Amino acid sequence: QVQLVESGGGLGQPGGSLKLSCEASGFAFNIYHMKWYRQAPGKEREFVAAVSNVGGSANYADSVKGRFTISRDNAKKTVYLQMNSLKPEDTAEYYCNAVSAYDSVNYWGKGTLVTVSS
């Protein structure tokens, strides 16, 4: 059974930090690029960050570049999103997404809520 389970969300302070995790199971994690998306109330889902299947490259949305870092541990089948210098605009449901490096197969987690407020 394919699963992507996000964790680490919660309440963060502006300027503070949170670290999200996404643990995968039921598929060949090492051949999937991993991505984070987020969706705020009333807005469309937007891309946040991506890391290649072997961790050799990463991409970030301009809104988080320099503040967020995506990484992965293939032995643990887990992808992380380190979120620093948090802003209220980062408040959203954060979703983990797995995309095959070879075809169109992809999977989604159910999300974890991040709220940034003082």
pLDDT at 56: 87
Percent of the chain with pLDDT over 70: 100
6, 76 Cβ separation under 8 angstroms? no
Mean pLDDT, the chain, as a whole number?
A: 97
At a CB cut-off of 8 Å and minimum separation 6, what does 70 contact? 34, 36, 49, 50, 51, 58, 60, 79, 80, 81, 82
Count of other CB atoms within 10 angstroms of residue 96: 26
Q: What is the pLDDT of residues 55-108, one digit of tens each?
A: 889 999 999 999 999 999 999 999 999 999 999 999 999 999 999 999 989 999
Residue 54 has pLDDT above 90, yes or no: no
The residue assigned the tokens 């992380």 is 80
Spatial separation of the C-alpha atoms in residues 23 and 80, rounded to whole Å: 9
Percent of the chain with pLDDT over 90: 97
Label residue 82 exposed, middle or buried (CB < 10 Å: 0-12, 13-18, 19+).
Answer: middle
Specify the pairing of strand 106-108 against strand 112-116: unpaired
Q: pLDDT grade, residue 37 (50/70/90)?
A: very high
pLDDT at 55: 85
Q: pLDDT grade, residue 50 (50/70/90)?
A: very high
